[in-house]
Amino acid sequence: DTGVSQDPRHKITKRGQNVTFRCDPISEHNRLYWYRQTLGQGPEFLTYFQNEAQLEKSRLLSDRFSAERPKGSFSTLEIQRTEQGDSAMYLCASSLKGGRMNTEAFFGQGTRLTVV
């Protein structure tokens, strides 16, 4: 399977615990994105990388969220001291960026986080 894969698919955690999600993008893609989606809403941008560089982090993202993409390959998204409001679907996507044009983004199946 050469698509975007995310792990785990589901995560239930207690409030206050830390969680980490992993995303493996399509191998030749240089862009990697993280989005958060709650029920009935569109995906909300969190952060994105070009290769290993984190280019932007949403101002809506608290300091409890951190993302890395070591060596420009897979990425991890960590949420520290989880809160019930963090419950959502976390989506990862990758694309190929060339010049000013961007190709379509391919999404993984998402990680559904439930904070109890």
Partner 1 sequence: SQQGEEDPQALSIQEGENATMNCSYKTSINNLQWYRQNSGRGLVHLILIRSNEREKHSGRLRVTLDTSKKSSSLLITASRAADTASYFCATDAYNQGGKLIFGQGTELSVKP
Window 58-87: residues binding partner 1 (CB under 8 A) = none
Q: Supply the minimum distance, in Å, between the C-beta of residue 67 and partner 1.
A: 13
Interaction of residue 25 with partner 1, rule CB under 8 A:
no
Long-range pairs, 67-75, Cβ under 8 A, ≥24? 67/34, 69/32, 72/30, 73/24, 73/25, 74/22, 74/23, 74/24, 74/25, 75/22, 75/23, 75/25, 75/32, 75/34, 75/49
For partner 1, which is the closer residue by CB, 2 or 101? Answer: 101
For partner 1, which is the closer residue by CB, 23 or 115? Answer: 23
Q: Supply the minimum distance, in Å, between the C-beta of residue 16 and partner 1.
A: 26
